[in-house]
Amino acid sequence: MIIDKYISEVVLGVAKSLYGEVSAEQIQIQKTRKEFEGDYTLVCFPLVKLARKSPEATATEIGEAVVASCSDISAYNVIKGFLNLSLSQSFWQARFAEIAATENYGVAAPTGRTIMVEYSSPNTNKPLHLGHIRNNLLGYSVSQILAANGHNVIKANLVNDRGIHICKSMVAWQRYGNGATPQSTGIKGDHLVGDYYVEFDKHYKAEIAELVATGMSEDEAKKSAPILLEAQDMLRKWEAKDETVRSLWEMMNGWVYEGFDVTYKTLGVDFDKVYYESQTYLLGKSLVADGLERGIFFRKEDGSVWIDLTADGLDQKLLLRGDGTSVYMTQDLGTALERFEQNKLDGITYVVGNEQNYHFQVLKLVLKKLGYEWSDDIYHLSYGMVELPEGKMKSREGTVVDADDLVEKMVDTAREMSAELGKLDGCTEEEANKICSMIGLGALKYFILKVDPKKTMLFDPRESIDFNGNTGPFIQYTHARICSVLRKAEEQGIDYSGVVTADYLPEEVEIVKTLADYPQIVAAAGEAFAPSTTAAYTYELCKMFNGYYHDHSILREQDENTKLMRLQLAAQVARVIRTAMALLGIEVPQRM
């Protein structure tokens, strides 16, 4: 049951009986503010003219009629023109019974819509870093949330496996690698290739300095450095399908893919489809030719093809270079068309940093001008960068926070803090390893996903593992605590699975109300592409339950029905924590 919708229908029926013609739009229901008594509030001002009474008198009249006609509404109070309605114990007991009986609680019915979510999109010249972690965690979580909203979701990855950056690593490996491989060095493949990307930059800067010392300007030296010219020549050979270059490219990219797969598995993210830029970069040329023929695009004297978007408040955008080679926009136009047609998509979400906001604005507009109405179904989930207390990261200089190193550090920190707090007491080494991995990754994922995607965020590893704050470990510990209570109940032979009727305390009603909100929270998170909505809800639920658990006994409760009801309540809180955290890609432990 969608409670606010139900209340709206009840109030609408009463208002019609009192005042005649009343539209659904005039019935404005919202949750009662915490400082007032009640569950839901009717804003009475739109009904004042029909009632021909003051706002307070209108609210009182409706309140009396609603309580008299609907047994689910037990009381009302009026604050100026606002009617606060309180729902009965039996209503909340019925809602709790519904929650407990719903197998996939929080999962919507199938919509029939197919949505692709593209995320990760790494370059094969370096390992994944902290920025990629935010991208992957956002993309995976949004995919889970959209699936929970009933959509068929295709998780896609477009690997940027070609271009000058990849050639830079290749040239540096040829010059300075001495045949090094992941096997011969014991270095993970993506790390090994990334080391040579850093090596390239080091020698490139040294060559620039040498050229400047001979009297060359810095700008000219940057263009003339031999190592850069070598990389540019390698790219031309790659484009020409030179066998030697292609063989080296395939070997080094293979090392990187093996490394990426390990990182993805550790992070707990996966993909249904993987695309490679080397296979898609030529896509879109036919679209450009079509747009040129139809006068949507124009050709400049150097042979390059452009679109003029100045009338749309933008500028002129290059679509094809003068030598006929494609640019990112060319590729993305073709890829979007292929994906929509091959997968019969109803929408595609690109999870890409906010530095590409303009690119996606242009992409949608160009597709619209080409006549593709589905361009309105492209959504750019733009997210802010991740910064560290010491500042921004730079890949070329090797100052990035490597994803693998960060995960390892998180797990080590989780082990250290868990041991200090006695969380691992009584665990076997295998159990301790599993729990520390769960806590470390849970801390990392939650700390990143609790922040609104659009915001730039500061990541502090130690702060993220605080067991008492708005953190993943706090939520994980709450789940483990409930599991401990339920285990003890089972050990005592208590069967709490049957239907139980017991009076609720106000705190218990609040927990049921919060549990009842969960499907709408999932819907809101899907609508806004915002895992942070789910994270905030889960934290509030845990905080509420912990306060309740501190003040009220469960297993030592003397009244048998009340004890069973509280065990059932705890079990449903644990279930919602599990499912909500799964939407964030986070596991929760049974013991901790």
What's residue 395's pLDDT?
44
Q: What single-letter DSSP state applies at residue 231? A: H
Cα 303 from Cα 322, distance rounded (Å): 4
Full 3-state SS string of 185-228:
HCCCHHHHHHHHHHHHHHHHHHHHHHHHHCCCCHHHHHHHCHHH
Cα 472 from Cα 293, distance rounded (Å): 56
What's residue 427's pLDDT?
81
What's residue 468's pLDDT?
83
440 closest CA partner among 471, 470, 469: 471
- Kindly report, residue by residue over 545-579, the tens digit of the pLDDT: 999 999 999 999 999 999 999 999 999 999 999 99
pLDDT band with cut points at 50, 70 and 90 for residue 324: confident
Sheet holding 82-87: strands in order across?
28-31, 40-43, 82-87, 73-79
Residue 286 has pLDDT above 80, yes or no: yes
Residues in the chain: 592
Q: What is the mean pLDDT of the chain?
A: 93
pTM of the model: 0.92
Please name the residue that has the structure tokens 């014991």. Answer: 186
Coil vs helix vs strand at 471: coil
Cα 281 from Cα 335, distance rounded (Å): 8
Full 3-state SS string of 22-85:
CCHHHCEEEECCCCCCCCEEEECHHHHHHHCCCHHHHHHHHHHHHHHHCCCEEEEEEECCEEEE
Residues forming a β-bridge with 87:
73
What fold characterizes domain 114-387? Rossmann fold (3.40.50)
pLDDT band with cut points at 50, 70 and 90 for residue 459: confident
Residues with Cβ within 8 Å of 294's Cβ and at least 6 positions away in sequence, in order, are none
**Please, what is the Cα angle at 466 between 460 and 467, to 5 degrees?**
160
- Kindly report, residue by residue over 492-518, the tens digit of the pLDDT: 999 999 878 899 999 999 999 999 999
Per-residue pLDDT averaged across 149-155, rounded? 98
Residue 400 has pLDDT above 80, yes or no: no
Please name the residue that has the structure tokens 């300095």. Answer: 209
What fold characterizes domain 403-583? Isoleucyl-tRNA Synthetase; Domain 1 (1.10.730)
Report the 10 Å Cβ neighbour count for 279: 13
What's residue 280's pLDDT?
86
User: Which class is 3-87 in CATH?
Assistant: alpha beta
Please name the residue that has the structure tokens 């008492």. Answer: 468
What's residue 421's pLDDT?
80
Please name the residue that has the structure tokens 């598995």. Answer: 265
Residues with Cβ within 8 Å of 266's Cβ and at least 6 positions away in sequence, in order, are 404, 407, 441
What's residue 399's pLDDT?
54
Cα 586 from Cα 578, distance rounded (Å): 8
What's residue 478's pLDDT?
96
536 closest CA partner among 483, 581, 490, 578: 581
What's residue 390's pLDDT?
64
Burial of 249 (0-12, 13-18, 19+ CB in 10 A): buried
Q: Where are the domains of the chain?
A: 3-87, 114-387, 403-583
Integer CA distances (angstroms), 198 to 91, 163, 585, in order: 64, 16, 32
545, 547, 551, 553: CA torsion to nearest 10:
20
What's residue 97's pLDDT?
94
Residues forming a β-bridge with 388:
391
Cα 195 from Cα 398, distance rounded (Å): 8
Residues with Cβ within 8 Å of 16's Cβ and at least 6 positions away in sequence, in order, are 22
pLDDT band with cut points at 50, 70 and 90 for residue 432: confident
In one-letter notation, the amino acid at residue 546 is N
Burial of 301 (0-12, 13-18, 19+ CB in 10 A): exposed
Residues with Cβ within 8 Å of 428's Cβ and at least 6 positions away in sequence, in order, are none
Report the 10 Å Cβ neighbour count for 52: 9
Report the 10 Å Cβ neighbour count for 208: 21
Per-residue pLDDT averaged across 114-140, rounded? 94
Burial of 243 (0-12, 13-18, 19+ CB in 10 A): exposed
Cα 196 from Cα 312, distance rounded (Å): 43
- Kindly report, residue by residue over 237-273, the tens digit of the pLDDT: 998 999 999 999 999 999 999 999 999 999 999 999 9
Please name the residue that has the structure tokens 């060559």. Answer: 207
- Kindly report, residue by residue over 57-93, the tens digit of the pLDDT: 999 999 999 999 999 999 999 999 999 999 999 999 9
Residue 348 has pLDDT above 60, yes or no: yes
What's residue 394's pLDDT?
47
What's residue 511's pLDDT?
97
363 closest CA partner among 400, 394, 336: 336
What's residue 391's pLDDT?
53
The tokens of 106 are what? Answer: 């929080």
